[in-house]
Structure formats: C-alpha cells, structure tokens
Amino acid sequence: MIVMKFGGTSVGSGERIANVARITAQTTERTGTPPVVVLSAMSGVTDSLLRAARTAASGDGISFRTIRQELQAKHEQAIATCVTDPEHARGLRAEVSTLLNWLENICQSVQTLGELTPRGLDILSGLGERLCVRIAAAAMLSQGLKAQTVEATELIVTDSNFGNASPLFEETTARVRARLLPLIQAGIVPVVTGFIGATADGVPTTLGRGGSDYSATIIGRCLPADEVWVWTDVDGVMTADPRIVPEARTLPSISYAEMAELAFFGAKVLHPKTMQPVVQANIPLRVLNSSRPDHPGTLVGNEITELPAIKGITAIRDLSVVSVEGLGMLGVPGIAGRVFSAVARSGASILMITQSSSEQTITFVLRSVDTPAVVQAIDKEFELELMRGDIDQVHAQSNVAIIAVVDAGMPGKPGIAARVFSALADKGINILSIAQGSSAFNLSLVVNQADVDEGVRAIHKQFNLDQV
Ligand code: ADP
Ligand code: ASP
Ligand code: MG
C-alpha cells in the first residue's frame, strides 16, 4: 500500500492535475492496489485564502470578493482542462461555487465582527485542499480510475492548537483504517485533503503551513503503508535549495534524522514534522518529481549513507538574536531557567542557544515575529534585576539568519567546522554566533541576513557538493 502526496505546483493547473491522475493510474497498475492520494491546494490558493481572511478582519470588504472571483476562475479553468465529461464538469463547477459562496459569507462575517481568531482562520485556510481534491478525483474518473474524495476532518483527529495542530494517533488510526481500507479493497482511490484535520469535537484545524507532507506520513503510519511518496517540483532532496544554489545535486538517500534537521532549518521540500510518524515504523519516504516521474528521487529512511563530505546546507531567515547580559548574572543560579521560562510563556520557540563561557551573557535565536513579545516577557521577569543593574540590558538584533550544515557523520569527521569557517571567511562573511545545532548532526551559524545566500553558496562550493 502506497500513500502519495502531491504539492501545490504538482496540482497547480488542470494539466498538472491530469498528470497526477496519470501517475495515480500508473501506480495502481504497477502495485496492483490503488494508492491513497493526499493533495495540497493548487499553488498560491492557501496564500489567497489567508489574505482574504486577514483583509476582511481589517475591515476591507473588497479584497475577499476579488479573491473569490480569482479562485473561481482558477478552479473553473482547471476543471475545463482535466474533467472530460460535461455533466461531471457542470456538477463540479456548481460545487466549487457553493464552497466559494461559503468563503465569501464567512469573510463577510469576519469583516462585520472585525476579528479573526486562529480557530476562524483554520476553518477558511483549508478550503484550497477541499476544492482541489474534488477536481482531482473527477480528473481520475475522466481517466477511467475509480476515485472518491475524503475530507481529512473525518480522518485526522488533532489537539486544538489551531494553526499548528498535532494528531492524536489512537483515534486517527482507528478512523483512517475504518474509512480508507474498505475503499482501497474495493479498488477505489481515496483522494484526501492534506493540511487539515479536526478536533475530537469536529472543529477544523490545520497542521501548519506546508503541512500536507505531514498529513501523508500521518496517514501512512496509521494504515500502515509500505511507503510514502511525496511528489514535488524538484528531483528530490538536494544538497541545498536549488533556488539559491543552482548547481545543487539530488541526494539518492538521506536518513530521517538528517532530513529532520534540514527541514527544521529551512529546507522547504518537506515539512519539519513529516518524518515523525514514519521513523518508528521505519516506513520508507520517497521524494519524487511529478514532472519527471521516472527519476528515482530521494529515499528517506533509517540508513545513513556515508558521503565524502556533508549531506546538505540550509538556511532559515527572518530571525533575531536576543542577548541577556550583565555582570550581576555571574554565578547566580537559575538565571537561564528564568530566561527560558519567560520565553516559553510568551509562546515563542527558540531555534538556537549559546552561552558565553564567562556566564555573563545568554544568547539565543528566535523568529523575528516572536521577538517583541519575548523581550517584553524577559523585561518583566527581570524587572528587579534590571532596576538594580544586575542585568544591563536585554538586547535584540534583527535581520539575522541561521545557516545549518547537516551530516550524521559529522562527529567522526575532523575539520568540517574549519572548512565551513574558512569558506565564509574567504567571502568576508562575519559569523555572529555558532552552535552545534539541535543535534550532533548539525553545525549552526548565525550570520547577517544579507550574507546568507552567498554563505550557502560558498560552503556548497567548499565541499564540492556540485560533484556529489
Ligand atoms: P510542494 O508544493 O510540492 O509541497 P514546496 O515548494 O513546499 O513544494 O517544496 C519544494 C521546494 O523546496 C523546491 O522547489 C525547492 O525550491 C525548495 N527547497 C529548499 N531546500 C531544498 C532542498 N534541500 N532540496 C530540495 N528542495 C528544496
Ligand atoms: N496548502 C498548504 C500550504 O500552502 C499546505 C501545503 O501546501 O502543504 O501551506
Ligand atoms: Mg510543501
């Protein structure tokens, strides 16, 4: 049994959706069993939905109506291209219209209320996936496959952390098996919405931006599937983001742990949580190119392959370095604990921590959007110490980025760090801070945002990754 996920570009037009149906038909033929197909929204649609909701909340009554029209045109055009039966196409157009009317009505209410809660946003932001699965299932029928849409709100039971929900596996497993296995046994392709789920009470949630990859492995683990295939717009997992390093190479294989590091530090090709559900069951994950289905892509699994140098380089932008400094911190127990508790209370997560050996400074890296709330929380926690001068200041520097160099063999390979530093030094790039990342597989460097792309390219070149 295979679970296949197709991303936004892979369903970005009627032609691309017809291609998804072709790949599904081939997979059914080759494996003798219909795959479970998990889909993202058509490219750009989730962004448009978020914009519709946010502009409505700010009192704008025009933008969401314009967006509605654009979405209608986009989906109708796709239907015209990939759904051949006119009767079917007509029914589908009506369904799209009904769903978009619903969008418009909710946006109207949001505008009237002037308020948009994370819960409200999750109801709207999953609409792109709901539209897409309907069209794709119809395209499959047009190509002679049996297919049925399934809304993941029926399958994936989550907590109520709106915008970034986590699955509750026991309940989800029961539902996935009860709903999908009978379809597969009857030779029907289940076409499932990625990205969305619902709480046990049925309130819609989302798994976070780019979360359809995660939906696929959640379902893969619950079935359980033999493999999960993530179809995207590049040949697999590459040594760096090909948009930054054009000569980046596709890795034939990478371990779950290495992939998790790359994804956490910005390699958008897979959502950072994608590996979690499949690691324990050791379900192989493949990343494949939907435009070049014969390319072998990348296998993500338990095996760690030895390469001469490093697996990959990635970067995460729009960060800030926050430092808490002061002579009065010297040798005083509990300061770090109080700093990090204050950060946690503000709801932010920390990407990297460094402490100077003198114990006078605690430095950590956060997303810039989280920084004002964090600084405020720390100021409040240390009100007394700041007043007494035990702590000099809480300082935040924005416009920084982390470059992460990832390889599982790093602890046993001397000289990696030296080569990374010299590659950056040769370009005159200043390193603001260094940490051995979140695991021994990862060397993380903080640099000014303006230096990121050049830095990634310089490290890529230093390790000759274009010749892997
Ligand atoms: P999808 O819509 O299929 O989910 P995404 O845009 O989310 O696709 O992810 C694919 C993109 O990830 C690629 O087009 C590529 O630009 C980017 N990317 C960043 N880092 C990497 C990497 N190390 N390997 C492959 N792609 C990467
Ligand atoms: N459509 C969603 C997003 O744009 C989920 C995904 O693409 O994986 O974030
Ligand atoms: Mg994606």
Cα(214) to ligand 1 centroid in Å equals 14
pLDDT of residue 437: 61
Measured CA to CA, the distance from residue 72 to residue 93 in angstroms comes to 9
> Cβ(277) to ligand 2 under 6 A?
no
Which parts of 129-194 are beta strand (E)? 147-150, 157-158, 189-193
Cα 72 to ligand 2 centroid, rounded to whole Å:
19
Q: Strands 442-448 and 431-435, how do they pair?
A: antiparallel
Residue from 38, 40, 213, 271 to probe ligand 2 pocket by mutation (most atoms less than 8 Å from CB): 40
State the closest ligand 2 atom to the C-alpha of 211, by its place in the atom list counted from 1: 8
Domain ranges of the chain: 2-233, 312-467
Angle (CA) 199 171 125, round 5°: 30
**Confidence at residue 316, expressed as pLDDT on a 0 to 100 scale:** 96
Closest C-alpha to ligand 2, atom 2? 210
DSSP 232: E
The answer to whether the CB of 312 is under 6 A from ligand 2 is: no
- Residue 213 C-alpha to ligand 3 middle, in angstroms? 7
Q: 281: how many CB neighbours lie within 10 A of its CB?
A: 12
Q: Is 210 in the pocket of ligand 2 (CB under 6 A)?
A: yes
Q: Is the pTM of this model over 0.85?
A: yes
Quick check: helix, strand or coil at residue 323? Answer: strand
Q: Considering every ligand atom, which ligand is closest to the CA of 241? A: 1
Q: Which atom of ligand 1 is nearest to the CA of 262?
A: 23
Q: Look up residue 14 and give its amino acid.
A: G
Q: Is the peptide bond before 224 cis (omega within 30 degrees of 0)?
A: yes
Q: Does residue 41 have its Cβ closer than 6 Å to ligand 1?
A: no
Beta strands in 132-211 (DSSP E): 147-150, 157-158, 189-193, 196-199, 204-206
The amino acid sitting at 387 is: M
Q: Report d(CA 344, CA 374) in Å as an integer.
A: 9
Structural tokens at position 374: 């964090």
**Cβ–Cβ contacts within 10 Å for residue 86, how many?**
8
pLDDT of residue 90: 96
8 lines ligand 2 (CB under 6 A): yes
Q: Is 337:277 a contact under the CB 8 Å cutoff?
A: no
pLDDT of residue 128: 98
Architecture category of domain 312-467 in CATH: 2-Layer Sandwich (3.30)
| 133 ligand 2 Cβ < 6 A | no
Count CB atoms within 10 A of the CB of residue 188.
17
pLDDT at 325: 87
Which residues make Cβ contacts (< 8 Å) with residue 243, sequence separation at least 6?
A: none
CA distances from 175 to 149, 185, 212, 215, 275 (A): 15, 16, 18, 14, 21
Tokens 């026991």 map to which residue? 170
Domain 2-233: give its CATH code: 3.40.1160.10
User: What ligand has the least distance to the C-alpha of 9?
Assistant: 1
Could you say which ligand is closest to the alpha carbon of residue 38?
2
Residue ID of nearest Cα to ligand 2 atom 5: 210
Give average pLDDT by consecutive 10-residue segment, the chain, 468 residues: 97 98 97 97 98 97 98 98 95 97 97 95 97 98 97 98 97 98 98 98 97 98 98 97 96 95 95 96 97 97 80 96 84 84 92 74 93 95 90 91 91 85 95 78 93 97 90
Q: Which two tokens stand for residue 161?
A: 């952390």
